Amino acid sequence: MSHTFKTGGIHPHGFKTASPEIQFQSLPMTATVLLSQHLGAPAAPIVGKGDKVTRGMLIAESASYVSASVHAPISGIVNSIEDVVLPNGKNGRAIIIKADETEHESDICARVEYWTKTVPEASSRDLSESLSSKEIQSRILSAGIVGLGGATFPSHVKIGLKPTQKADTLIINGCECEPYLMCDDALMCTWAPQTVEGVELIMKAASIEKAVIAIEDNKPRAIKAMRSALDSAHNISVMPVKTKYPQGGEKQLIEAVTGRRVGSGGLPISVGVIVHNVATAFAVWQAVATGQPLIERIVTITGDIPAGQRCNYMAAIGTPLADFPYTLPEEARVIVGGPMMGRTAVRLDTPVTKGTSGLTILSGKGHRPIQPCIRCGACSDACPMGLDPYLLATYGRLRMFEEAAAADVADCIECGSCSWSCPSSRPILDFIRVAKQRSRK
């Protein structure tokens, strides 16, 4: 059986050329920690200028139910709380932490101890048996965990179901269908047992009895590693799914795994399913088994750069994007994320956030010029949501936002399949994003 979704989809080249091994990016001497690294309300600072903080310390609390706490990725002094420029050129509030040499060296030693000894030796299974679902949810909330697949939705909200809601299946998204990116693949190959324990914790927190770890079939090492880690796990299975973009889209993955379809405007819980990214499961395990909050994540550095520079790095939140070791090609275009759903960076002195899955560095040479639409319908054929992207893009370009809303622009998952399939190289998704954003107002 070919496990995939039925409507639309494309098959871009994978370009999975980064080294699967995880290297450790140096801790920054200055960390810029954004207060809004998630969907929902920005976190509220609980420290002020001149305060001393230590690595892993809570520095900003979740400001509402849909929000996420923020922790210090390094030890040091709060230099300021100010607006900083984000990769897209907009401003965001951030806590700036500066370390001295002594604090920096201490953090480095503690970090080495954590990843070489604590992580390999720790287990959450005894704690999992003693902790209630509410206590696990509380630890997830306290650790500031959000969806690490890109959406950055606060994880405690998704797990904390209402009394009227019931999920029978947990899907763990290990597809990583975005070209170039390999952070989830590297994670599953390196820390599969810990990730499986994280899946068990989410199952207990959400009172779900069955879990499926879905991995695209172009990742045989990850599939083998995760299956090998299931020896003592119950009601968890690994399901290879077809390599097809955007297989990792929430609604597409639910259809591929369960055959159920989430309706327009609906949420996965409406069909009895919760979806979490595989890296989120690992972060949950860290929070419960080791007590470390979400202060670092794996970032893929890849693209049109020398082969030796294409790597997966464990990087502290707040690390400047410019600190990674890469050489920019001529007329470089740097994308935060992957080439399909990522956003072009206008500057690189901005920080890694919880949602930073990678940097895709592409040469600007040979870019095709934009041509008039030829009404071929390729974008509609490719759309996994069954929409008419050319029409939605036209509404966005002409500022016809009410018409866009009526044409279900809110259902667009911004996967970029439309732009990729367009023979005229039209920026279809860019105009749809405008229509989608403005139609909400």
Q: How far is CA 320 from CA 91, 324, 351, 355, in A?
A: 15, 8, 4, 14
- Most confident range (mean pLDDT) of 44-58, 228-242, 318-332 is 44-58
Secondary structure (DSSP) of 63-84:
-SSSB--EE-SS-EEEEEEEEE
3-class DSSP state for residue 28?
A: coil
Strand extents, DSSP E, 178-235: 211-216
> Residue 441 has what pLDDT?
61
- pLDDT exceeds cutoff 90 at 440: no
User: Which amino acid is residue 101, in one-letter code?
Assistant: E
Q: What is the pLDDT of residues 240-299, one digit of tens each?
A: 999 999 999 999 999 999 999 999 989 999 999 999 999 999 999 999 999 999 999 999
- pLDDT exceeds cutoff 80 at 367: no
> Residue 366 has what pLDDT?
59
Q: What is the pLDDT of residues 384-409, one digit of tens each?
A: 999 999 999 999 999 999 999 999 99
Higher pLDDT, 366 or 396: 396
- pLDDT exceeds cutoff 90 at 153: yes
- Strands 332-336, 169-173: pairing is unpaired
CB neighbour list of residue 138: distance below 8 Å, 6 or more residues apart:
none
The average confidence (pLDDT) of the chain is: 95
CB neighbour list of residue 130: distance below 8 Å, 6 or more residues apart:
none
Q: What is the mean pLDDT of residues 20-30?
A: 96
Q: How far is CA 363 from CA 246, 323, 331, 423, in A?
A: 24, 20, 6, 20
- pLDDT exceeds cutoff 90 at 162: no
Q: What percent of the chain has pLDDT over 90?
A: 88
- pLDDT exceeds cutoff 90 at 439: no
pLDDT grade for 128, boundaries at 50, 70 and 90: confident
Q: What is the pLDDT of residues 47-93, one digit of tens each?
A: 999 999 999 999 999 999 999 999 999 999 999 999 998 887 889 99
- pTM, whole model, 2 decimals? 0.96
- pLDDT exceeds cutoff 60 at 1: no
- Give 111-116 contacts, CB < 8 A, sequence gap 24+: 111/24, 111/27, 111/55, 114/290, 114/292, 115/24, 115/314
Contact 248, 13 (CB under 8 A): no
| Angle subtended by helix axes 428-439 and 389-397, to nearest 10 | 70
> Residue 330 has what pLDDT?
84
pLDDT grade for 370, boundaries at 50, 70 and 90: very high
